């Protein structure tokens, strides 16, 4: 196991007998190949806010974009704690992944250029962005980019054997 690979803990209470921890490489495969994620933030009054979006797994963190006036961005300005989830709709096949962490706004122009390329590689030419003044811009709209370094990650292996694996990264 490489030094960059976090240690996995299988939760036997939520796993089938004989289940093994999900490999970290499987988690990265799911995060890299997912089309849709669900982001959960907290409104200023404490109520949850959940919405679908696209995201990019790049350089060991999830990245997503949102307009500065959108509810997600407003929530993150007050409370940067966030959860992103992705997986499959089937209950008995595939792997669901949950990433918990703290959202950090990305403003470095060189990093944003690389992320713009990652977005286009992942989602195609409809997701081409220009980088201006520390943000993405497309069709006149501005989107702030957020990085979420994982603090805790859960993988839910669905189908026999079912398994719940946790990694604590930070």
> pLDDT tens across 83-108, in order?
999 999 999 999 999 999 999 999 99
* Cα separation, 86 vs 39, whole angstroms: 9
Q: How far is CA 36 from the centre of its chain?
A: 10
**Domain housing 71:** 8-105+140-168
Determine the pLDDT at residue 2. 38
The band of 5, judged by pLDDT with boundaries at 50, 70 and 90, is confident
pLDDT in tens, 109-138: 999 999 999 999 999 999 999 999 999 999
The band of 6, judged by pLDDT with boundaries at 50, 70 and 90, is confident
The answer as to whether 133 is a domain residue is no
| Rg of the chain, C-alpha, whole Å | 17
Determine the pLDDT at residue 27. 97
The answer as to whether 154 is a domain residue is yes
Determine the pLDDT at residue 3. 46
Structurally, the chain folds into a number of domains equal to 1
Nearest to 148 by CA among 74, 87, 81, 71: 81
Report residue 22 as tokens: 């999900």
Q: For tokens 């200023």, what's the residue?
A: 44
CATH at 100: 2.30.110.10
52, 40 contact by CB (below 8 A): no
Q: Are strands 135-138 and 130-132 parallel, antiparallel or unpaired?
A: antiparallel
The answer as to whether 122 is a domain residue is no
* Cα separation, 149 vs 167, whole angstroms: 13
The answer as to whether 155 is a domain residue is yes
pLDDT in tens, 30-79: 999 999 999 999 999 999 999 999 999 999 999 999 999 999 999 999 99
The answer as to whether 111 is a domain residue is no
Among 6-15, 21-30, 72-81, the least confident range? 6-15
* Cα separation, 103 vs 55, whole angstroms: 13
Is the model's pLDDT at 29 over the cut of 90?
yes
The answer as to whether 134 is a domain residue is no
Is the model's pLDDT at 1 over the cut of 90?
no
Q: For tokens 């990650």, what's the residue?
A: 153
The answer as to whether 115 is a domain residue is no
């Amino acid at each position: 196991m490489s030094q960059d690979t976090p240690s996995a803990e299988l939760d036997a209470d939520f796993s089938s007998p004989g289940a093994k921890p999900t490999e970290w490489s499987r988690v990265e495969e799911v995060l890299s190949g997912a089309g849709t994620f669900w982001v959960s933030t907290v409104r200023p009054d404490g109520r949850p806010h959940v919405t679908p979006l696209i995201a990019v797994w790049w350089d060991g963190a999830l990245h997503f974009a949102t307009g500065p006036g959108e509810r997600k961005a407003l929530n993150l300005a007050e409370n940067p704690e966030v959860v992103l989830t992705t997986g499959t709709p089937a209950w008995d096949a595939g792997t669901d992944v949950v990433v918990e962490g703290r959202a950090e706004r990305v403003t470095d122009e060189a990093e944003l250029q690389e992320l713009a390329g990652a977005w286009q590689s992942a989602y195609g030419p409809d997701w081409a962005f220009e980088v201006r003044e520390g943000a993405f811009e497309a069709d006149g709209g501005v989107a702030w980019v957020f990085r979420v370094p994982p603090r805790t990650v859960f993988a839910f292996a669905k189908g026999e054997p079912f398994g719940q694996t946790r990694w604590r990264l930070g």
